[in-house]
A and B are shown apart, each in its own frame.
Chain A
Amino acid sequence: MRRILAATAALCLTAGGSSSLAYLKLGAIVNGRVVDATWHQQPIGFFISTRDGSGATAAELRGAVERAAATWSSAEPASVRLQFQGMTNALAEGADGLNTIGFLARPDLDRVLALTSVMVDSATGAIYEADIVINTSFAFSVAPGGQPGRVDLESVALHELGHFLGLGHSAIGETEITGGGTRRVTGHGAVMFPIALSAGTIAERVLQADDIAGVSDLYPTGAVAFETGGIVGRITKNGQGVRGAHVIAFNPETGVLIGGFSQGAAGDFVIARLPPGAYILRAEPLDDADPSNYFPHPVDTDFRVTYAPRMVAAPKGGASPPIEIRVLPR
């Protein structure tokens, strides 16, 4: 009998409203081991709900989603095929056997732009159904150049399709606390950052290196394993592992920024699918968004931003020798 694991991930206008169970990749426990939650068959079909939203019709939603799907499908060196299968009267929620994307009123989620539900077969780790709700509490836009005061629908679709494919949230981003006590993004380096840019922006229509590394890790082409490398290491504080530290790898030659997290009590981290080369590593606490956007358990955020003492090379087809980054309490 197939057991079901449901996970949800959301794109927030501001932090604080999402109920998510996600990190870089969605996972499922299969036979006691955590495996990536991925679609095991392609193309991955989806339907668009016929309901119109605020500022955008269902047809416009279809256009935005198809553009976003094409963006994910063209991400190299990943191998993803998303396919529109038709319009449906079904709602974008519940286990009905359809992968549905549609507008739905969710006034209870007053800070959540959109929400993706992913259903995973816990016997295999395969995603067998996913739905995306676009919250009609917000005004959306499909204007090619964006529209002041309205959230770009294609950007939201691109983020949610990342969850639809099995990606969790990225932590490559910086935020500031506004006068109202909410967070405002000052900059981000991944479409999968959990907090959206301000209404009117369209910069999130483009996948960044961290997004591409993530999707390549989930859906690698045959050559990916030989063409990319990894960095492994450990974050420690006073000799103990740090759980939930965010580690950014920056390649000064290409400008690429790709992130990873220390997981487990030992503080071990792995950053995979890196283009080969030398990287500067920067460890930071998860304090630019609600940590629950990444982990279902508490994380250690009581440490200062710390750089690895040396650059670390990610070799083609392999992993670096382990490096330890020792952080200090704030």
Chain B
Amino acid sequence: MVEYNNASTIGWLSVPIAILAGVLRGSVPFLFVSLGECLTEKSGKINLGLEGSMLLGAVSAYAISFHTGSALVGVLVAILVGLLAGLIHAALVLQPRVNDVAVGIAMIIFSSGMAFFFGKPYIQPKAAQISPLNCGAWSHNPQIKSALSLSPLLFVGIVLAIAMHWFFSSTSWGMLIRAVGENPVGSRAMGIPVNAFRFWCILSGSGLAAIGGANLTLFYPGSWIERISSGQGLVAVALVIFARWQPINCLYASLFFGGAQALGPALQAAGVSSYYYLFNAAPYILTLLIMVATCSRSGTLAYMPESLGKDE
């Protein structure tokens, strides 16, 4: 059996393994930010500002990990900063007549400004990283070993996706959040504190996005640069539609989007240079096609929270 584990014998397998490694590494931020967006949208509000929360999470995790030497403290502080960004967003969008889309874009500008401003001194130094879980210890092949050296946050995210699925389908609080997202006026008439539910959903959603950002700087790629999130927070909106607002589907969709992201460089390496950009657009076109296919003329998307994007 020894010769099968030899690096040279896996030959053609090395490409799929590289892609698998890319998928497992690249999908973690997508997973967290999409779960955050899913939670926010279930309550009937949209948060484009998760892009900003991610950046703030990324920079604060990196800075705190650099100063304390503990990646865990870094992640915890990132969550706090994410909650703070969510607090600003929630405080604004829950006022009457304030448009959540516009506030989201303004929050991206403000948060990225803050992140770049305070992140400037941290572009050079190296911070303590999250120690990986070596799930590939059984193999003697170094490529498999490195592909399966995974972020612990991946497992946290998977558990969270399952927990959120259970939360929305089987707990009374989850049901109430869905009720608020489907019909805020009716919910209010029933005595459900609509704004309180939305407030906590927006806050936690932003906190989750910040964890995704922390994974960017503390695991993969593992350093702080401006534009590190490269629009992943905005992509999350597309991803949640792709996942039909189901947390479990967010997991699959994150793997898919992470995979699409990982395939690009692989194609580029294979010599397909300019088509690589068209390939980059594939997830968005696919999401748009899904929207077109599942929308009805009455203006509602199947599974979409009814009050999403509407003023009361």
Question: Are the chains A and B members of one assembly?
Answer: no
> A residues within 8 Å of B by Cβ?
none
